[in-house]
Structure 1
Amino acid sequence: MSLTTELNEQMKTAMKAHDKVTLSVVRMLKAALQNAQIKAGHDLSADEEKAVLATELKQRKESLTEFENGGREDLVAGVKQEIAIVEQYLPAQLDEAAVTALVTKVIAETGATGKADFGKVMKTLMPQVKGQADGALVNRIVKAQLG
């Protein structure tokens, strides 16, 4: 089932259940996908759809951080709900231990020895974790391991 079809089904279910939060998030995701499709000028591939959803998830996580830092507890709960809904449509996220293991493997494969090899490691690693790990987490682990 395509992501658009899945979102349409979820939207119908949310309407029937009077679930306003889910309905709102699903509508935002559909709009983001449609905008990306218009911008690209063709139907989106599965990877392109995942990239759009990953961007939406990243935006919500950034909002969550800002709301927590600003003491806006009234908005934190809503954003957490939105994050949970968006995560349903993305592949399972890798935990820090799994990312660390991948980074170690890629460093060994590329023969990286120091900070000068950072770009080479990231270029090899990012396609492997695309949509499954936060780029900031990957960046931090690579920098730590390259010293």
Structure 2
Amino acid sequence: PSPESIKRAKEMDFVGLGLHPLFSSHFEEEELQRLRLVDSIKSYRSRADIFSEVVGRKRQRSGPNRGAKRRREEARQRDQEFYIPYRPKDFDSERGLSISGEGGAFEQQAAGAVLDLMGDEAQNLMRGQQQLKWDRKKKRFVGQSGQEDKKKIKTESGR
């Protein structure tokens, strides 16, 4: 069916058409009255919606206490002017962008999440610390310390 046909079918008033003569013998008068009542309920529209009634009752109930609440909020606003916070406003964002410190850099978080599968014996531990790592700038193997001292970190964009 085309969109125009669907619109015409929605606009058509099937309630006003009534029953087909073939079906009228199967329905009793009580059933027809019930159908008319249901149709009248479907077309009923309230003059005042429920929302406006509820809001009106709420306004009547909360009228006198409104001034006290507003004064408390104003006093709270005045206190904020002289309040010195424990941490700066941008503390979390700065911590996330920092290179060193508590859980700032991704490398530190990843290093903390690594499962160490080396042996517990002293000999095996020393072997793990003395492991060599290839340095691209020096083009040779260098001893790796536990944590690299980097001032700048390359991000995914290469900067």
State the TM-score, normalizing by the size of structure 2: 0.19
State the TM-score, normalizing by the size of structure 1: 0.20
Give the number of the structure whose alpha-carbon radius of gyration is greater: 2
The answer to which structure, 1 or 2, has the higher relative contact order (CA under 8 A, 6+ apart) is: 1
